[in-house]
Amino acid sequence: DTAVSQTPKYLVTQMGNDKSIKCEQNLGHDTMYWYKQDSKKFLKIMFSYNNKELIINETVPNRFSPKSPDKAHLNLHINSLELGDSAVYFCASSQAWDNEQFFGPGTRLTVL
């Protein structure tokens, strides 16, 4: 009965490759997010989707592309991976903008 799940938990890949991270929430929430946590633990919003529509797109390279096939899923595709993309990526969801955001367990991406 996991609320927000992400796959894979760990992802190790070579520079230049393309990879995807999947996120699913079973909470019935309308809004989903992607955050990046760097090596210094700093968390920054990347994208936010509300009812499958992109509502926030922070300054993120266009190599990163979110895709929301339905309200319960928000996947993150990354093209031409670079060393600097190594980080932990968290998916989250919420029912309304002032409510608690529920976070997934994170995906640790390592680019070699």
Partner 1 sequence: AQSVTQLGSHVSVSEGALVLLRCNYSSSVPPYLFWYVQYPNQGLQLLLKYTSAATLVKGINGFEAEFKKSETSFHLTKPSAHMSDAAEYFCAVSGGDSGYSTLTFGKGTMLLVSP
Nearest-approach distance from CB 99 to partner 1, in angstroms: 8
87-106 residues in contact with partner 1 (CB under 8 A) are 90, 92, 94, 96-98, 100-106
Total binding residues for partner 1 by CB under 8 A? 26
94's enclosing H/E stretch is strand 87-94
Q: Which long-range contacts (CB under 8 A, 24 or more apart) does 103-108 make?
A: 103/4, 103/35, 104/4, 104/5, 104/6, 104/23, 105/5, 105/6, 105/9, 106/6, 106/9, 106/37, 107/6, 107/7, 107/8, 107/9, 107/10, 107/11, 107/21, 108/9, 108/10, 108/11
By the rule CB under 8 A, 63 interacts with partner 1: no
Q: Toward partner 1, which CB reaches closer, 37 or 65?
A: 37
Binding-site string for partner 1 from residue 31 to residue 50, where x marks contact by CB under 8 A and - marks none: x-x------xxxxxx--x-x
Nearest-approach distance from CB 3 to partner 1, in angstroms: 10
Nearest-approach distance from CB 102 to partner 1, in angstroms: 8
